[in-house]
């Protein structure tokens, strides 16, 4: 760690602001793109998340970030919605388990161990999407609504409520069209399936449709740039006003004393470090994209950034400063933060150069004493900055605010890079609630992947923490969390492998426990088919798709089994499928399984969104009004005109999907 003079800091800041004044976004760090972030957009009932970097179970919360290797588990009569971008969402029913196998920019892969989910694609895009189950891999590449259910025996149902979806196995693939359901059973090496008429829509499907309508009818989504998602939640809580210096900005309905980045908490997220989780029900887009500014005539307003420029996700858009002696880091006895105004420089504290274990930080941190009010516009207002003690910061208590003196602000310690505050176990939680629901028995841990996940390298939370502690000269040797338990699947007794192809088949090779896999005689045709079997029902060949429409026609080197256990090697590799067909024959009657299928077991109950806690200073929802016009200036921004198409348009009309990952500007 080293200190630099205030003169050079101010000089650097001035040059950076002038150079970036005509821009609203910087070049994106390729490493950030490999570490995607999804958002929990709704929690109804009890749900928990097992953090992938620590193994800790924490209570799920609205606006919590979800990253690779995180596992979501829901209790009875519960629901969770996860947004990946402006056009892709996963809705999880009760008593379900879903693991995020790989999240990166434009690529979302997840595994359903048990329960019912619906994957919704609101519009076509180039995203590469894969939903794995114990015996098939579902790739929802086209606009539609796809319901996927896995019972305790590992049998799968794939229902298309709208659109077409391709289902993959080692032996080939089949298309499932609107109004059809595929039932798959058996091992992933050689499953059997039936295509039947889908069951009528139930309460789960109707609820999912209502969520679609809420998203597509959003007014606010028309005012944000490409890559920004979660804007549909802004509609009931504020208004869009036209400011000549910035164009359209969002004005929240706030009570006196409210300020951004105050009603929430700082949590530690793998790769991104300190990340803001807002308690405000709309608190995703305005805290991970764009900038905030204060104007006495309007109060606080959120500037989402220039239209026409793609924006990327940031853990927060603030500047950290320390004041007071001693405490958790050099010059950081107390920790403060101030929201960045439009065109103020963001100094990232995460990413390449700042991510690692002991010894990784010392050469990357610069501390300088600055007058915060001279550098950051928002710090000039009484509620423009927030501060807590270093001890409260580490222990997750963010409601005991401090009031820095004028001298503290004039001599604040500014960190250009990571702040010298090491995380603790409390910083893994997204709320003050404990994880009320932790599954006793894991779901099916062995799933079939058409494309094997290849996530970016990860460093355990304990090593990340020790690296920051070493920077502060604090020797520590504490362990956090337990490694996830991996359970071997039960033997697949009782199910017969479906019909043999006319040519001999090669048995798959099991890498961990080689064994001979027998090929029984083909059973009588009872409506079951084999993937890729030429003797099966007549298949209509699907015409080739335009390359620009579907990017994820890329094929993996070797699909096969894998365990959802954060690091275990896959146990089975099988030759890639060579048949890509879809059923064209007559639909069969729905088979009867001994396992449990169908919708999530949930009574009809109203959707719940957590209200802001008492003292949050946030007003009640109100109906959106037509944008108003303001007359104050002060920025050099290009004017952001009203979006074309008027209010109430489909959010899918905004550019390409796949945003929401990487570094915001």
6 pLDDT band, cuts 50/70/90, is very low
In the prediction, which pLDDT does 62 show? 98
| Residue 137: pLDDT over 80 | yes
Question: Is the confidence at residue 64, as pLDDT, over 90?
Answer: yes
What number is the average pLDDT over the span 206-235? 95
364-397 core/surface letters (b: 16 or more CB in 10 A; e: else) = bbebbbbbbbebbbbbebebbbbbbbbebbbebe
Q: What is the pLDDT of residue 471?
A: 67
Judging by DSSP bridges, how do beta strands 107-121 and 128-132 pair with one another?
parallel
Q: What whole-number distance in Å separates Cα of residue 378 and Cα of residue 385?
A: 7
**pLDDT classification of 595: cutoffs 50, 70, 90:** very low
What are the residues whose beta carbons fall under 8 Å from the beta carbon of 1, sequence distance 6 or more? 330, 361, 362, 365, 366, 367, 420, 471
Per the DSSP assignment, residues forming a β-bridge with 128 are 107
Task: Say how many Å lie between the first and final Cα of the chain, rounded.
Answer: 26
599-650 pLDDT, tens digit each: 564 444 444 444 444 444 444 444 444 444 443 334 444 445 555 544 333 3
Between residues 206 and 488, the one the model is more confident about = 206
pTM over 0.85: no
pLDDT confidence tier of residue 417, bands split at 50, 70 and 90: confident
Q: In degrees rounded to 5, what are phi and psi of residue 457?
A: -60, 145
Q: Is the pLDDT of residue 403 over 80?
A: yes
pLDDT at 565: 45
Each residue's pLDDT tens digit, 482-518: 333 333 333 433 333 433 343 333 333 333 333 333 3
**The pLDDT of residue 551:** 39
Over residues 136-151, mean pLDDT: 95
How many CB atoms are located within 10 Å of the residue 614 CB? 6
The predicted-structure confidence for 536-545, as pLDDT tens digits, reads as follows: 444 343 443 4
Domain chopping of the chain, boundaries: 2-28+216-420+609-653
The least confident of 336-340, 370-374, 590-594 is 590-594
Is-contact 574 189, C-beta < 8 A?
Answer: yes
The structure tokens 């033997």 sit at 491
Least confident of 135-144, 248-257, 503-512: 503-512
Question: Could you give the count of Cα atoms lying within 13 Å of 563 in the half-sphere of its Cβ?
Answer: 15
Q: What is the mean pLDDT of residues 421-427?
A: 93
Separation between Cα atoms, residue 410 and residue 374, nearest integer Å: 9
- How does residue 308 score in pLDDT terms, banded at 50, 70 and 90? confident
């Amino acid at each position: 760690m080293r200190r630099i003079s205030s003169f050079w800091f101010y000089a650097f800041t001035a040059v950076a602001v002038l150079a970036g004044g005509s821009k609203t976004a910087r070049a994106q760090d390729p490493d950030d793109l490999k570490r995607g972030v999804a958002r929990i957009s709704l929690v109804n009932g009890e749900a928990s998340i097992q953090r992938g970097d620590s193994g800790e179970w924490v209570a799920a919360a609205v606006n919590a970030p979800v990253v690779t290797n995180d596992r979501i588990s829901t209790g009875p009569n519960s629901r969770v919605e996860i947004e990946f971008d402006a056009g892709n969402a996963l809705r999880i029913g009760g008593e379900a388990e879903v693991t995020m196998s790989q999240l990166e920019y434009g690529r979302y892969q997840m595994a359903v161990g048990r329960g019912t989910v619906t994957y919704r694609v609101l519009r076509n895009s180039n995203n590469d999407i894969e939903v794995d189950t114990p015996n098939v891999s579902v790739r929802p590449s086209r606009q539609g609504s796809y319901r996927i259910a896995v019972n305790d025996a590992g049998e799968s149902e794939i229902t298309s409520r709208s659109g077409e979806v391709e289902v993959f196995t080692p032996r080939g693939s089949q298309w499932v069209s609107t109004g059809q359901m595929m039932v798959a059973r058996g091992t992933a090496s050689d499953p059997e399936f039936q295509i039947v008429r889908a069951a009528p829509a139930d309460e789960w499907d109707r609820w999912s449709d209502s969520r679609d309508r809420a998203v597509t009818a959003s007014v606010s989504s028309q005012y944000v740039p490409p890559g920004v998602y979660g804007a549909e939640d802004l509609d009931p809580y504020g208004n869009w006003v036209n400011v000549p210096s910035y164009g359209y900005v969002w004005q929240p309905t706030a009570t006196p004393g409210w300020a951004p980045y105050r009603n929430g908490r700082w949590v530690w997220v793998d790769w991104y470090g300190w990340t803001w989780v807002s308690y405000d029900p709309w608190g995703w887009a305005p805290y991970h994209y764009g900038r905030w500014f204060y104007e006495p005539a309007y109060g606080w307003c959120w500037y989402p950034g220039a239209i026409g420029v793609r924006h990327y996700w940031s853990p927060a858009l603030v500047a950290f400063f320390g004041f007071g002696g001693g405490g958790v880091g050099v010059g950081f006895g107390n920790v403060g933060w101030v929201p960045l105004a439009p065109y103020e420089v963001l100094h990232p504290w995460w990413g390449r150069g700042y991510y690692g274990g002991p010894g990784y930080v010392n050469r990357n941190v610069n501390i300088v004493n600055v007058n915060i009010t001279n550098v950051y516009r928002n710090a000039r207002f009484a509620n423009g900055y927030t501060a807590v003690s270093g001890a409260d910061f580490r222990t997750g208590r963010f409601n005991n605010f401090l009031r820095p003196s004028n001298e503290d602000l004039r001599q604040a310690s500014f960190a250009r890079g990571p702040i010298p505050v090491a995380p603790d176990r409390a910083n893994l939680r997204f709320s003050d609630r404990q994880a009320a629901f932790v599954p006793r028995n894991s779901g099916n841990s062995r799933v079939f992947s058409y494309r094997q996940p290849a996530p970016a390298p990860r460093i355990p939370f304990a090593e990340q923490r020790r690296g920051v502690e070493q920077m502060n000269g604090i020797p520590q040797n504490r362990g956090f969390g337990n490694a996830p338990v991996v359970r071997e699947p039960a033997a697949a007794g009782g199910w017969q492998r479906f019909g043999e192809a006319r040519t001999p088949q090669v048995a798959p090779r099991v890498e961990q426990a080689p064994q001979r896999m027998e090929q029984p005689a083909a059973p009588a045709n009872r409506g079951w088919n084999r993937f890729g079997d030429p003797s099966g029902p007549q298949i209509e060949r699907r015409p080739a798709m335009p390359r620009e429409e579907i990017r994820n026609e890329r094929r993996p080197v070797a699909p096969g089994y894998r365990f959802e256990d954060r690091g275990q090697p896959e146990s089975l590799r099988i030759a890639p499928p060579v048949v890509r067909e879809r059923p064209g024959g007559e639909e069969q009657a729905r088979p009867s399984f001994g396992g449990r299928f169908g919708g999530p077991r949930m009574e009809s109950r109203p959707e719940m969104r957590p209200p802001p806690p008492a003292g949050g200073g946030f007003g009640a929802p109100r109906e959106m009004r037509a944008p108003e016009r303001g007359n104050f200036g002060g920025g050099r921004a290009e004017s952001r005109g009203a979006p074309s198409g008027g209010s109430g348009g489909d959010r899918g009309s905004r550019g390409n999907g796949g945003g929401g990952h990487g570094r915001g500007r």
